[in-house]
Structure 1
Amino acid sequence: MISSELKTPKIPPLTRWVLALALLAPAWWWSYTHLTDFADALLVQAGLTRQTALGEAVHFFFFDTPKVLLLLTEVVFVMGVVQTFFAPERTRALLAGKRAGVGNVLAALLGIVTPFCSCSAVPLFIGILSACVPLGVTFSFLISAPMVNEVALVMLLGLFGWKVAALYLVLGLTVAIVAGIVIGRLRMERYLEDWVLAVANGQSAATYDGDGMGWVQRLQAGGHHVREIVGKVWPYVVAGIALGAGIHGYVPQDFMAAIMGRDAWWSVPVAVLLGVPMYTNAAGVIPIVQALLGKGAALGTVLAFMMSVIALSAPEMIILRKALKPRLIATFAGVVALGILLVGYIFNLVL
């Protein structure tokens, strides 16, 4: 008897990956470009409007949570694939051949063209670190990406002129570069969490020797990277954005403007301390900067506040806690805060 059963032809693994990515990439892009519509719809369903503090806070949470998680997934997957082309030893050898500080300069310059807020920059920070880039270099990117991006520069140019924008660019890059160099010189890799050290040292199952690998194995490495890193980080992302959203909806502009005058020496450090618990991106904080200046606050003090909001936010610290131990987070915050203080005083002196 001749069997009439027909065997379903198997789809080659590479073809399956190509088909999956061909479907997922447009879906990712559509989701990312419709985040505002998504947040607006959920806000309507919740019976709230953005004209209230609560509504603005809830909208911020609905918008930023999927945004950061989408970025996290994309960046970690891409870095997982890229990592297969560079064995850890080869990457270290390549970076070791450069003069001290060159990597920090390149990382800080890269931050200018990456339109990330502080929490959005954390996924790329972790991804770069997992590719065996030195710790100090990754911190230069983490500082520069939210603080000195093209959105901030264009808005500063339009509101305050080219001199303010240029000075902000130079001083912001200086903070990012110098802070990264200082952190690198302190040799604080031991204060990374164990799972990050394992990934960075090539001990993770997601790390592969790229010699002789096919694309299926490289794509599988990217998928494993997503499961390993996103699976560990996402609760901290959600918690951090929830805190930031709550604070974002209740920014006390009048109170801050009253203590940000030019005369008091303590106004700059107080502005930095006030900015740290808050969370927004450059586009969100610059309108606040404009409002504060309109109420008589000093430019340097307000820009120091702006830098602390977008480079030292409390939600960012919560997300970083999953990857960094408290001593490294405190060192990062202290070095960057010192740089921001100097920027604030310099602005108040020269403008």
Structure 2
Amino acid sequence: MSVVWEVIQNQILGMQWLNELLGLGLSALGLDINTRIGGSVQFFLYDTIKITVLLCFLILLISYIQSYFPPERSKRLLGRFHGIWANIIAALLGTVTPFCSCSSIPLFIGFTSAGLPLGVTFSFLISSPMVDLGSLLLLTGIFGWKIAIAYVIVGLMIAVVGGTLIEKFHMEKYVESFIKNTSSVDIESPTLTQRERLIYAKDQTFSTFKKVFPYILIGVGIGAVIHNWIPELWIETVLGSNNPFGVILATIVGIPMYADIFGTIPVAEALLSKGAQLGTILSFMMAVTTLSLPSLIMLKKAIKPKLLAVFIGICSIGIIIVGYLFNTFQYLFI
């Protein structure tokens, strides 16, 4: 069974055969893949093709699942639960919704204006960009199933705990009045045929891919530079075990950036190969996807500064705690 799973992880999800094929092709063209330039070209082509193929397949699959959860149905579903169960369902719902924080904010506003508890909508807002079904499979192909599952679990935990804390603080008055005063019109979604669901999934695939592909190229490019040009000693010094502030630094650096999880994975892959600690890398990924500067600017239009500060504080503290925990128990995953 372990042999079968290894084949799935390495050859199907990880596409190691593609890396070997590209190496042979580049060598046949006269490019030495053992040099920095050759290695960078191989890394860039391999990760770009691999992530593109997996991403398109995953978006198609997840978009098909999303067709069963339009906003109206999602609101009704969330309205049936109360207490921490509502936060858990909201966090789980976030795994089959938009792939980046900026895309999640309009849904967050819609849920809030519909009268759903604020903590529940924040659990959704945290989970949606940080964790999704696509990231689980893609992380499995690159880092292995232990790290992938652990990442998803801690991401959901941050979403549930963060939303629960915000609910306990009773911060509804810090939501902008135009959202609270918006009348929610609950329109019954038409029943889609299988053909319509497939068309919807195809359209979502093209639309989402066009949005995220530039960030994939940027992420793979940065990963190629880290992988082949930056000495391991530098990475280990800044993000390795000898720097007790590596997790905090990675979280702070990640916040101003904007990318979805698919754009951060090649950077994380390169950092891990250079000796950066696992928890530090995961903190960087979570900060980029959840607390990106553009999404915070958008969110500021919907909530007042005090609530925004609480949201940033809860997410940052949660991400940092997760980072140090993973660094401490890294030996269990690698």
Change in 2 beyond 3 A, CA 1:138/1:346: same
**Structure 2 Cα separation of the partners of residues 317 and 270 of structure 1:** 19
Question: Hey, what does 1:104 align to over in structure 2?
Answer: 87
User: Are residues 1:157 and 2:140 paired?
Assistant: yes
Question: Hey, what does 2:263 align to over in structure 1?
Answer: 284
Question: Hey, what does 2:295 align to over in structure 1?
Answer: 316
- Partner residue of 2:165 out of 154, 159, 182: 182
**Residue 128 of structure 1, CA deviation:** 1.3
**Structure 1 Cα separation of the partners of residues 238 and 120 of structure 2:** 35
> AA paired with 1:322?
K
Indicate if the aligned counterparts of 1:115 and 1:151 stay in contact, CA closer than 8 A. Answer: no
Indicate if the aligned counterparts of 2:87 and 2:119 stay in contact, CA closer than 8 A. Answer: yes
**Structure 2 Cα separation of the partners of residues 142 and 194 of structure 1:** 19
**Structure 2 Cα separation of the partners of residues 292 and 151 of structure 1:** 21
> AA paired with 2:131?
V
Question: Hey, what does 2:129 align to over in structure 1?
Answer: 146
**Structure 2 Cα separation of the partners of residues 286 and 177 of structure 1:** 24
Indicate the RMSD between aligned Cα atoms, in angstroms.
Answer: 3.3
**Residue 257 of structure 1, CA deviation:** 6.8
Question: Hey, what does 2:9 align to over in structure 1?
Answer: none
Indicate if the aligned counterparts of 2:220 and 2:266 stay in contact, CA closer than 8 A. Answer: no
Indicate if the aligned counterparts of 1:105 and 1:177 stay in contact, CA closer than 8 A. Answer: yes
SS in 2 for 1:176: helix
Aligned length: 231
Question: Hey, what does 1:68 align to over in structure 2?
Answer: none
Question: Hey, what does 1:40 align to over in structure 2?
Answer: none
Percentage of matched positions with identical amino acids: 44
TM-score where L is the length of structure 1: 0.59
Question: Hey, what does 1:334 align to over in structure 2?
Answer: 313
Q: For structure 1, list consecutive stretches of 5 or more residues without a partner in the other structure.
A: 1-50, 52-74, 216-240
Aligned pairs for 1:113-152 (under 5 A) are 113-152=96-135
User: Are residues 1:172 and 2:155 paired?
Assistant: yes
Deviations 1:145-172 (A, max 9, x none): 1111122211111111111111112111
Question: Hey, what does 2:277 align to over in structure 1?
Answer: 298
Indicate if the aligned counterparts of 1:257 and 1:292 stay in contact, CA closer than 8 A. Answer: no
Indicate if the aligned counterparts of 1:151 and 1:282 stay in contact, CA closer than 8 A. Answer: no
- Partner residue of 2:286 out of 303, 307, 311: 307
> AA paired with 1:300?
G
- Runs of 4 or more, structure 1, over 2 Å off, are 247-258
Indicate if the aligned counterparts of 2:219 and 2:263 stay in contact, CA closer than 8 A. Answer: no
SS in 2 for 1:296: coil
> AA paired with 2:100?
C
**Structure 1 Cα separation of the partners of residues 140 and 110 of structure 2:** 32
User: Are residues 1:325 and 2:308 paired?
Assistant: no
Aligned pairs for 1:1-351 (under 5 A) are 79=71, 82=72, 95=79, 98-199=81-182, 202=183, 207=184, 258-351=237-330
**Residue 214 of structure 1, CA deviation:** 10
Change in 2 beyond 3 A, CA 1:310/1:338: same
> AA paired with 2:136?
L
**Structure 2 Cα separation of the partners of residues 105 and 256 of structure 1:** 37
**Structure 1 Cα separation of the partners of residues 176 and 138 of structure 2:** 37
Change in 2 beyond 3 A, CA 1:160/1:99: same
Deviations 1:288-317 (A, max 9, x none): 101111222111101100000001111110
> AA paired with 1:157?
T
Indicate if the aligned counterparts of 2:220 and 2:263 stay in contact, CA closer than 8 A. Answer: no
**Structure 2 Cα separation of the partners of residues 153 and 185 of structure 1:** 30
> AA paired with 1:348?
N
> AA paired with 1:315?
P
